[in-house]
């Protein structure tokens, strides 16, 4: 029961659904997600942590980069079905379409450039 509550709470947030939508077709670096959402790195990290704890996404570290992807097919329980339902519903929204257009622009930029740009203090 605890896992069900954790999963449904993770899915009950627009930002987290946007993250899942962005990861729908590809693995992304955390800096790409930060750029897409336009939030502080700490805010994005908190959302990613909630999704990871609910086992909706998986992560891997490569050098200095942290990459995220949707949970795999071997995910326990009804998580694949829940992800499928949420993503099928979200794909039809205007927000998904806007995010995808923005993501196409972001994917052109080298992640190292994104990361350094995000870590610079704003004046």
pLDDT per residue rounded down to tens, the chain (123 residues): 777 888 899 999 999 999 999 999 999 999 999 999 999 999 999 999 999 999 999 999 998 889 999 987 667 778 888 888 999 999 999 999 999 999 999 999 988 888 888 776 555
Report d(CA 34, CA 76) in Å as an integer: 28
Strand partners for 66: 61
Q: What is the spatial order of strands in the sheet that 65-70 belongs to?
A: 28-29, 65-70, 57-62
Residue 94: left if φ>0, alpha if ψ -120 to 50, beta else—which one? alpha
How many contiguous H segments (helices) and E segments (strands) does the chain have? 7, 3
Closest by Cα among 6, 21, 16, 29 to 89:
21
- Choose the CATH number for 2-71+79-117 among 1.10.10.10, 1.10.357.10, 3.40.109.10, 2.60.40.420: 1.10.10.10
* Token reading at 104: 């196409």
- How many Cα atoms within 13 Å fall on the side-chain side of residue 11? 19
Domain boundaries, the chain: 2-71+79-117
User: Whole-structure pTM over 0.85, yes or no?
Assistant: yes
Closest by Cα among 17, 45, 28, 23 to 107:
28
């Amino acid at each position: 029961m605890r896992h069900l509550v954790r999963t449904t709470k993770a899915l009950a947030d627009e930002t987290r659904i946007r993250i899942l939508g962005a990861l729908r077709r590809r693995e992304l670096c955390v800096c790409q997600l930060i750029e897409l959402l336009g939030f502080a790195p700490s805010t994005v990290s908190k959302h990613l942590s909630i999704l990871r704890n609910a086992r909706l996404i998986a992560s891997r570290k490569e050098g200095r980069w942290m990459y995220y992807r949707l949970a795999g097919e071997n995910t326990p329980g009804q998580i694949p079905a829940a992800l499928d339902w949420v993503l099928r519903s979200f794909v039809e929204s205007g927000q998904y379409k806007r995010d995808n257009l923005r993501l196409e622009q972001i994917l052109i930029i080298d992640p190292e450039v994104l990361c350094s740009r995000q870590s610079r203090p704003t004046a």
